[in-house]
Amino acid sequence: MDIWWQLVYFLFFVLFKRYYCSIIGKNSIIFTIERRIFMIYIIRHGQTDWNIEHRTQGHTDIALNINGIKLAELMAQKIANLKIDNIISSDLKRAYMTAQIINKKFNKTIEEDKRLREQCFGTLEGITRDKITQEIWDDFNKNAKQFNAETKEEIFNRIKSFIDDIKSNNINKNTLVVTHGGPIRMIKYYLDNGDNFNDKKYLAEYMTLKINNLDVFIIDEKMNLKRYDL
């Protein structure tokens, strides 16, 4: 009988490896149905000169300005008590510099991931927002490729890939992610809606999500994205 229960335990562990189970007593078994808890903290990068000038940044590699550095240092102090096991950052300077500053409190190896980049806006990058009319934005949203830019669905696919990897490879690890406004909106869309991307739904319900420099979000154990109050 003991061997039979051991087999049941083994099969349960293999099939439901994200749950814990415990054997109690000689001929009895109790399963503790408890998800392994992990948290994903997400931070938008610090301030750049182009943020102040309201220029479209995209993939243009702009560094933090002096104020951005100072505010990132303050953010590092605010979150210093979090338990962080690993840090993943967009490879663009404004995000990676933010990650480096924050990492002074954690001393982890920062992993760069291009999937966390902001949307590429192509020929619109570097242009101030007041020069980009609503008509231009409408044309952009209908056909980003005519601007040599990245489509929303392309961003969705890389963000989906990133989040799926996090869920598979970071069980029982608290991860700090440093990225950009666009990817954060897309993360929320994916967690709310699953695999099927609907461009109209995204533009109508998620593009208006206000995300400031160094805003902090959390993906909890139920895979919900919400703002993290410091």
Active site amino acids: 45, 118
DSSP string, the chain: -HHHHHHHHHHHHHHTTTB--EE-SSS-EE----BPP--EEEEE----HHHHHTB--TTS-PPP-HHHHHHHHHHHHHTTTS--SEEEE-SSHHHHHHHHHHHTTT--PEEE-GGGSPPP-GGGTT-BGGGS-HHHHHHHHH-GGGGT---HHHHHHHHHHHHHHHHHH-TT--EEEEE-HHHHHHHHHHHHH-S---HHHHHHHTTT----TT-EEEE-TT--EEE---
